[in-house]
A and B are shown apart, each in its own frame.
Chain A
Amino acid sequence: MSPREIIRKALEEGRTKLLEHEAIEVIKYYGASVADAYLAQSAREAADIADKMGYPVVLKIVSPDISHKSDVGGVILGLRSRFEVMDAYQKIIDNVSMKVPSAKIVGVLVQKMAEPGGLEVIIGGLRDNVFGPVVMFGLGGIFVEVLRDVSFRVAPVSIEDALEMMGEIKAAKILDGYRNVPPVHKESLAKIIVATAKLLEENPEIESLDLNPVLAYPDKAVVVDARIILRKG
């Protein structure tokens, strides 16, 4: 489905938040590299997907009624075999049915586990009343949550703008590597920022989005989790 169709479907179903696999599909469409993820609707299907993408994988509940997936036992990490995947699938369905009996369950997302060693960053976007689409960049974890160390740009943005905004956060030096940690591949992050701006510009129904985390490596950057919020009405 195209982003347009995904968004229309969500709005028709009265949802103002895209499901994770939908969000990932939208991001992918704009050329951002995303950790592979597919929706499974049975344990067998989950295992088949995992076999195809290779192990280890992570399983996550997909439901329009649940926003904090881990809190309800909806996420299981580090699954290394077909057997573990099938078992985890059932466990997730059981957990969620017990903790949130009213939740509508769409299925379970099977996603390749991210490679170790990535630096967590957050790339976001929102629609401002005055300036329209705006993008944000920051480092993940405490940098964003405690220090609010982020920078912004009004769309459209070029790769050069995106690189400049990455250099603006206080913790910018971390991107350049320190001690034994190699520098991250900034151009890959910049591409995701540019894609985020474009996505907001071309889809006026999108109110805001978080790509959180995006994992940055010395040679690439991968979106691991995406949340897309639509405007009501």
Chain B
Amino acid sequence: MAGENSINAFFNPRSVAIIGATPKEGKVGRVIVENFKRRFKGRIYPVNPKYNEILGLKCYPSVKNIPDTIDLAVIVVPAPIVPMVLRDCGEKGVKAAIIISGGFRETGTEEGRRLEEEVIRISREYGIRVIGPNCIGIYDNWSGVDTYFLPDYKMKRPPRGGISFISQSGAFASALLDWMAYNNIGVSRAISYGNKVDVDDVDLVEFLGRDDKTRLIIMYIEGLKDGRGRLFLEKIREVVKSKPVIVYKAGKTMRGSRAAASHTAALAGNYDIYRAAFKQAGVIEAESFDEIGDFAKVLLTQPLMRGNRVFIVTDAGGIGVMLTDALTREGFEIPVTPDDLKRELREVLPPHCIVENPIDLTGDADDERFKIVLEKVLPKPYVDAVVLGALPQIPGMTHKFIDYVVGVWEKYRKPLLVIDIGSEEAVKFKVELENKGIPVYESPERAARALKALYLYSKHVLRDNR
């Protein structure tokens, strides 16, 4: 097994050769040069025999002519020429190559398959680690490696942050990156590996697991390579001890091709086995696109949840009832408020407020009432998490609410989620709260699912570290 250093070259190269670079507008080979020029601090060498210079950079006819060592080659030439340029890379001593070009096994043609096998042979011969082919490669928010060939004005680049993701699909990776940029979600590194002739999910998850810039990993998987499942499970189990991994498994409904000579073989769908493996590894499975973001923000910001008892505090009775249903359906306990807490709440609340769980502060509440109640509820040992149903429409609610809530939360460090439904004003509350580390959801159901993700992750970590 190649060591982590060979993978590291993909993310932290000192020099990069862009083979197939071009000055032509609208071409992949140009966008990638622009990307590197914008952010990359290392040395950039365009390669194309047709040009002497591209976008102000000296251009070389072959990677072999570059008077420098090359840590990373990015290859965007047509598939039939890829073996040749990869061989050049090998002779040059390049140890890492991202092959963006398509036209390989994914075409289903004999020629595509042959070319892919040649790529594999050459990479083994020279010991070159390969990402791709048929991929969009790497976006690294720290080093500036950016082979995502989608122009900056079409795909926004997100701010730096703790989320890294690995995606079999390039389209999904770029859409997710753009969406994260729009929602101001911080990203560390994003990798799309396409046909994965060499570097695959296992290598990448291991690298990101050790990467201290990555605090949470999102994976989009269609299928793992044959024989890699067990190693995948073992690596992720290690990673999950220090950071959460969210997986979205696509291709759930694909039929297995298993010959069914036994009951067991007939009953085992591919997805059933993936699900079992995810559970064993302690991976959190997102079942929809919405859940990826919903889960990520709670897992990234909230401390571990130590039990399943949830208290609800709301200014809207209806939201309290909806939350009770949604949380109960996910298996949470909504305990009756114990007498000691009831007494304490009675002392500080007007008589018309309801001190049962859900605790209803009613529509005449002001933002300070939330703070007073949270101060009483959050530290109690029988409270494992609090969900606030905080509708901003009531007259007494101002933006002071944010500091009040964040202040109490920082003091007691227990999982806290907020439901906030509405128009511009509600969106403002959401943005301010989320900037301070409190995840906000637009529906009780989505909040309940997200809390469940936190609960399952916590349970796994607490059990494994026991």
Contacts and interface: CB of A to CB of B under 8 A. Distances in A.
A126 to B, nearest CB: 5
B272 interface: yes
A151 B276 contact: yes
Contacts of A161: 280
A141 to B, nearest CB: 12
Interface in A84-140: 122, 124-126, 128-132, 134, 136, 138
Given A124-B262, A152-B273, A136 B268 contact: yes
A209 B265 CA distance: 8
Interface in A196-213: 207-210, 212
A152 B280 CA distance: 10
Given A124-B263, A150-B267, A130 B226 contact: yes
B263 A130 contact: no
- Residue in A16, A130, A138, A229 whose Cβ sees the most chain B Cβ within 10 Å: A130
A27 B260 CA distance: 21
B267 A130 contact: no
B252 interface: no
Interface string B251-266: 0000000100111110
B262 A152 contact: no
A148 interface: yes
A10 interface: no
Contacts of A208: 261-262, 264-265
A165 to B, nearest CB: 8
Contacts of A128: 229, 268, 273
A124 B268 CA distance: 10
B263 A210 contact: yes
Nearest to B258: A126
B227 interface: yes
- Chain A, interface size: which category? 20 to 34
Given A153-B276, A153-B280, A130 B264 contact: no
Contacts of B267: 124, 136, 138, 144, 148, 150
A131 B232 CA distance: 9
Nearest to A165: B276
A229 B276 contact: no
Contacts of A153: 276, 280
Interface of B: 223-230, 233, 258, 261-265, 267-268, 270, 272-273, 275-277, 280
Instruction: List 3 A-B pairs, minimum CB-CB distance, nearest first.
Output: A124-B264, A131-B229, A152-B276
21 contacts: A124-B263, A124-B267, A126-B268, A128-B268, A129-B227, A131-B233, A131-B273, A134-B276, A136-B268, A144-B263, A144-B267, A152-B273, A153-B276, A153-B280, A154-B230, A154-B276, A207-B261, A207-B265, A208-B262, A208-B265, A209-B262
Given A130-B223, A130-B228, A134-B273, 18 more contacts: A126-B262, A128-B273, A129-B227, A131-B230, A131-B273, A134-B276, A136-B264, A136-B267, A150-B272, A152-B272, A152-B276, A154-B229, A154-B273, A207-B261, A208-B262, A208-B264, A208-B265, A229-B262
